[in-house]
Structure 1
Amino acid sequence: MSIRHHIGDDTLMAYVNGTLVEPLSVVVATHLAICPRCRKSAALMEDLAGLLLMEAETAPLSPAEEAMADIIPSSASPDAGNDDQPLIKPDYSNTGVPMPLAERMPATLDDIPWRTLIPGISHYPLPKSGSQKNKGTLRLLKIAPGKTMPEHSHTGQELTLILRGSYIDDLGRFQTGDIADLDSETLHQPVADTAEDCICLIATDAPLKFSGFFSRLLQPVFGI
């Protein structure tokens, strides 16, 4: 697997600090399971956070520093710096996808009970847990070969991890293992560009913003 698109530094630092909402964290953790480069970056960020804590322990902490210390513990594994050691078990219960995505899957990718959004585009919402159930969305998205997503931008952050197939948009070509880390400045229109379905894991922390009158009418249908 050749991964060309990686997690942005700001997003990865937020993950290490534990400040990402749950849906975004699931996508980051799933990408880390298959990307040695991002695992190494996460480990370096965790080490830096640890050094800062050690230095801070030599002097009394201000109230602001104490608050920061509470969010420093990382979601990353102590072995994250080892490129040969997956951060997360790469497969679980024969689902064919990495943890922690696997534990949220109702079936394998081939057996997902897809729900049609529009012809050629289907989705499957994935469960969230804990106190963040109302924060953001997490879902699988399937785009049939040659089909185009409605053009849209974002009112917050969107993370898209390609699990199978590929798509192309104004930002480039995204293939299996690649992650698109998008913010409110991004306007794009992905097109599945191979002979197989493009299946993605997508998380958002705010609703998408569709372009065009017809696409805006579909906003309640998409629910994202």
Structure 2
Amino acid sequence: MNPHHHLHESTLISYAAGGLPAPLSIVAGVHLEQCPHCRRRLRDAEAIGSVLLEQTQPQPTDSDARRQALREAMLARLDSETPEVTASTVQAPPPPRPGADPDHLPAALHPYFGPSISALRWRWMGPGMYCIRAEQMPTLVMLKIAPGKCLPMHSHGGSELTQILRGAYNDALGVFAAGDAADLDGEVEHQPVTAPGVPCICVSALDAPLVFSGWLARKMQRFVKL
């Protein structure tokens, strides 16, 4: 998998700092799981953030020094009372399933949707359109759109982050295929059209509702809740 559309720089910096809303962070994690290029960029963002944090730390005072001494004493006591953990006492995580498996969902989605696409129970949204919401997080949504389907023109009330898992769609921004991330904000208006062949399956996170241009789409929005 060789993604051509990546996470925005600001998204990576927020992810590195732990500042992304949870649904957006999960989708960003899915992209990072599949994209070596963005994993390298994330390491750079973490390194830059670490340097900036060190430069903005205030100079220690006497009270800071006392607190640090107490903290170190407490950690030393905990170390002396904690059983030694060795490689034999830690169960290694199972190796990831091959990304080539077409039924495999990325590991970041397993707590919310399970491990496989075939086990998903889709909810009908409209002709050729299905969705599943994460029970724990309603703004984290899996979408399944039939081939050749034209979605309504819309913009975004806030941020939208979508990761393509299977199939593809195209819009004014280009072609988005499996592995690509669509990292969009309120300035983007687009009308995705799914590619022929197989359904387009993606996972999407929003921090505000979509803004539809057409009256019919706006009427339907209260039912599909996107």
Give the TM-score of the pair, scaled to structure 1: 0.79
The yes-or-no answer on 1:175 pairing with 2:177 is yes
Going from structure 1 to structure 2, the CA distance change for 1:21 and 1:149 (only over 3 Å counts) comes to: same
Matched residue, 2:122: 114
Q: Which deviates more, 34-43 or 52-61?
A: 52-61
> 1:55 Cα shift?
3.2
> 1:149 Cα shift?
1.3
Q: Which deviates more, 21-30 or 136-145?
A: 136-145
Contact 1:33 1:90 survives alignment (8 Å):
no
User: Which consecutive unaligned segments of at least 5 residues does structure 1 have?
Assistant: 62-88
Deviations 1:23-82 (A, max 9, x none): 000000111011011001111111111122333447359xxxxxxxxxxxxxxxxxxxxx
Matched residue, 2:133: 125
The yes-or-no answer on 1:145 pairing with 2:147 is yes
User: Given residue 165 of structure 2, which amino acid in structure 1 is its aligned partner?
Assistant: L
Supply the RMSD in Å over aligned alpha carbons.
2.0
Query: CA–CA distance in 2 between the matches of 1:97 and 1:202?
Result: 14
User: Given residue 6 of structure 1, which amino acid in structure 2 is its aligned partner?
Assistant: H
Query: CA–CA distance in 2 between the matches of 1:219 and 1:44?
Result: 40
Aligned pair partner of 2:191 in 162, 175, 189: 189
User: Given residue 17 of structure 1, which amino acid in structure 2 is its aligned partner?
Assistant: A
Matched residue, 2:70: none
User: Which consecutive unaligned segments of at least 5 residues does structure 2 have?
Assistant: 62-94
Bigger-Rg structure (1/2): 2
Q: Give me the identity figure in percent.
A: 42
> 1:107 Cα shift?
5.6
User: Given residue 170 of structure 1, which amino acid in structure 2 is its aligned partner?
Assistant: A
> 1:160 Cα shift?
0.6
Going from structure 1 to structure 2, the CA distance change for 1:107 and 1:53 (only over 3 Å counts) comes to: closer
SS at match of 1:51: helix
Matched residue, 1:38: 38
Query: CA–CA distance in 1 between the matches of 2:5 and 2:60?
Result: 41
- In the alignment of these two chains, the number of paired residues is 190
Contact 2:2 2:35 survives alignment (8 Å):
no
Query: CA–CA distance in 2 between the matches of 1:114 and 1:140?
Result: 9
Matched residue, 1:2: 2
Q: Which has the higher helix share?
A: 2
Matched residue, 1:69: none
Matched residue, 1:105: 113
Matched residue, 1:223: 225
User: Given residue 127 of structure 2, which amino acid in structure 1 is its aligned partner?
Assistant: P
Contact 1:141 1:199 survives alignment (8 Å):
yes
> 1:182 Cα shift?
0.4
SS at match of 2:108: coil
> 1:108 Cα shift?
1.7
Going from structure 1 to structure 2, the CA distance change for 1:23 and 1:7 (only over 3 Å counts) comes to: same
Give the TM-score of the pair, scaled to structure 2: 0.78
